[in-house]
């Protein structure tokens, strides 16, 4: 019903596969393990087969917060082979173009990098200044309403 309503009222949908390994260390532990490819593939395949005829779906997403692994690359290639008309995004793809057509960082600051030891986060300006970078940038998460509760929202 949701997709039908989006089709009817002109809402755009980023359709995201149910793939997340939040809390796994290292984060790409499962997504780089070939034993997990069948499970991940089933989720992506079902999503695309279920929703491909909805014009509101404008972007496919390979999941959220599961690191970047070889399984993402395989799933990206599969989606592009069955639906080359839509871009594919994956927030964990970063500067690696093998799994995302869109740069979609989480919580990127506008001007300053965030030097977290495990996963350094570049600023939006740094992403946009990468040599030869032409992909669009969409912040997939940027105003987490907890703690400071949108305290820095005006910066965006």
Q: Known catalytic residues?
A: 65, 141
In whole angstroms, give the CA distance from residue 130 to residue 51. 34
Residue 3 in contact with residue 10, Cβ under 8 Å?
Answer: no
Report the alpha-carbon distance of residue 125 to residue 110 in Å, rounded.
6
DSSP 8-state assignment for residue 16: E
Distances (CA, A) of 83 to 16, 26, 86: 15, 31, 6
């Amino acid at each position: 019903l949701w997709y039908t309503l989006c089709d009817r009222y002109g809402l755009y949908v980023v359709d995201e596969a149910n793939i997340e390994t939040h809390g796994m260390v290292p984060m790409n532990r499962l997504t780089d393990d070939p034993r997990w490819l069948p499970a991940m593939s089933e989720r992506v395949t079902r999503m695309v087969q279920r929703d491909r005829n909805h014009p509101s779906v404008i972007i496919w997403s390979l999941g959220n917060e599961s690191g970047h692994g070889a399984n993402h690359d395989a799933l990206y290639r599969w989606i592009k082979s069955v639906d080359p008309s839509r871009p594919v995004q994956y927030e964990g793809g970063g500067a690696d173009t093998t799994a995302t057509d869109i740069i979609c960082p989480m919580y990127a600051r506008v001007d300053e990098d965030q030097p977290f030891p495990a996963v350094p986060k570049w600023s939006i300006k740094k992403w946009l200044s990468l040599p030869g970078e032409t992909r669009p940038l969409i912040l997939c998460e940027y105003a987490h309403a907890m703690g400071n509760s949108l305290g820095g929202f005006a910066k965006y």
